[in-house]
Amino acid sequence: MHMKPRDAVFLLFALAALAAQREPRTVPPDYEKKMAAIKNFEAGVVPLFVVGDLNEDGAVDDADLALLRQYLDKKNSATAATGITCLGAADLNRNGRVDARDLEILSDILRHGRVNAPALSHGTPLGCDYRNFILAAGPEATAGGAVPIHFLDAGITPRNSSALISSGEATVSPIADGFLIRVARSARPGSTVTVSLTLTGGRKYLYTFAVIPTPGQTP
């Protein structure tokens, strides 16, 4: 059975939620409120997590590197025992598993200190508690389509934040609670668009999504 890209994203999110429920956890008071808000967004919009932020403290730093090294040394999938709350964030090369290659990548990234503008990602079969998430977005778009990026924190607005197209054929415009990224009709299927986000407090992130073929179009 062929699965549509959007259905695949929902499946990954569901698997992540189930994985997160295997261990006792505490979540912020606004967690359920944010999840409820996402249900009212456009179809396909999912929460984003910070790649490399294993403990979901909002930073990618040596603490995350230590957690990843401990996890691999123990070869222990019980993430609660290591302090990891988002194992999906440890999959640096996005191949669906956490191994020595991910440790090598994170070590190289942190060689010059903590990451100033970490990457954002969505959907992982490895599990994520989403304890500290403030953004939700669409995972992909066709040429001529659009990807919304929504803020999940009332203190973040388009007025005190910014979004710029770092690469790819697209434009950006503000919406009530975030930004709308419109993909150019000339964008090639298989290409990507990267958005540079600067939020309140100087927090910076990069979000990359794929341009997919329109139904019936050859990739």
Secondary structure class of 135 (helix, strand, coil): strand
- Please check whether residue 120 is in contact with residue 205, taking contact to mean a CB–CB distance below 8 angstroms: yes
Question: Which pLDDT value is given to residue 178?
Answer: 96
Task: Give kind and range of the element (H or E) at residue 141.
Answer: strand 140-142
Instruction: Write the DSSP assignment of 54-116 as a string of letters.
Output: TT-SS--SHHHHHHHHHHHHHT---GGGTT-S-GGGG-TT-SSS--HHHHHHHHHHGGGSS-S
Q: Are residues 96 and 181 in the same domain?
A: no
pLDDT, tens digit (0-9, with 9 covering 90-100), for 158-211: 999 999 999 999 999 999 999 999 999 999 999 999 999 999 988 999 999 999
- Please check whether residue 43 is in contact with residue 114, taking contact to mean a CB–CB distance below 8 angstroms: no
Q: Are residues 88 and 186 in the same domain?
A: no
- For residue 177, is it within any domain? yes
Domain range for residue 55? 5-121
Q: Are residues 92 and 148 in the same domain?
A: no
Report residue 7's pLDDT band, with 50, 70 and 90 as the boundaries.
low
Two tokens, residue 25: 């956890």
- For residue 129, is it within any domain? no
Over the chain, what is the mean pLDDT?
A: 85
Region 109-128 average pLDDT: 89
* Whether residue 81 has pLDDT greater than 60: no
- CA pair distance 164, 91, nearest whole angstrom: 26
Query: Domain total for the chain?
Result: 2
Question: What pTM did the predictor assign?
Answer: 0.81
Of the residues 73, 93, 121, the one at which a domain ends: 121
Q: Are residues 167 and 205 in the same domain?
A: yes
- For residue 10, is it within any domain? yes
* Whether residue 19 has pLDDT greater than 50: no
Q: Are residues 180 and 72 in the same domain?
A: no
- Residue 65 contacts by C-beta under 8 Å, 6 or more apart in sequence? 103, 106, 107, 110
Question: Which pLDDT value is given to residue 78?
Answer: 53
Q: Are residues 113 and 174 in the same domain?
A: no
Give how far Cα 141 sits from Cα of 52, 61, 163, 193, Å: 25, 32, 17, 10
Q: Are residues 156 and 110 in the same domain?
A: no
Pairing mode, strands 135-137 and 46-47: antiparallel
For residue 14, what is the domain's CATH number?
1.10.1330.10
Q: Are residues 172 and 114 in the same domain?
A: no
Of the residues 97, 121, 145, the one at which a domain ends: 121
- For residue 46, is it within any domain? yes
Region 120-148 average pLDDT: 91
